[in-house]
C-alpha cells in the first residue's frame, strides 16, 4: 500500500464546503473528507468499485444459484469478482 503525504491549500468555495462538511459532522476531520472525496472521484472515473458492489454481486449469485457457501468460498468469490473488474 502506497502512502502519500500532501499539503493542500484550499480557498473560496472549496474551503467553505470542506469546513461545512466537518462542521455538520459528516466527517470527523478535513483529512477524512478529502480521502472520501478522492475515493468518490476514483469511483466516478471507473478506477475502482466500492466493496458493497462486490457484496451485491455475490448476493445475486447466491440467490440465483441457491448455493450455500463457506467463509473461504465467500472470500474466494469476492476476490474473483474484484479481479474481473
Q: Which of 56, 58, 47 is nearest to 80 (CA)?
A: 58
Grid cell for residue 2: 502506497
pLDDT digits over 21-58, tens only? 999 998 889 998 998 898 889 888 988 777 777 777 77
Task: Quote the mean pLDDT of the chain.
Answer: 84
pLDDT of residue 77: 78
pLDDT of residue 1: 59
Using alpha carbons, list the distances in angstroms from residue 53 to 45, 59, 67, 78. Answer: 15, 10, 19, 10
Amino acid at each position: 500500500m502506497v502512502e502519500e503525504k500532501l499539503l493542500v491549500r484550499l480557498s473560496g468555495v472549496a474551503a467553505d464546503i470542506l469546513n461545512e462538511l466537518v462542521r455538520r459532522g459528516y466527517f470527523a476531520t478535513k483529512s477524512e473528507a478529502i480521502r472520501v472525496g478522492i475515493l468518490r472521484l476514483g469511483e466516478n472515473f471507473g478506477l475502482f468499485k466500492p466493496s458493497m458492489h462486490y457484496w451485491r454481486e455475490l448476493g445475486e449469485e447466491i440467490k440465483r444459484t441457491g448455493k450455500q457457501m463457506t467463509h473461504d468460498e465467500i472470500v474466494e468469490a469476492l476476490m474473483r469478482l474484484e479481479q474481473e473488474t
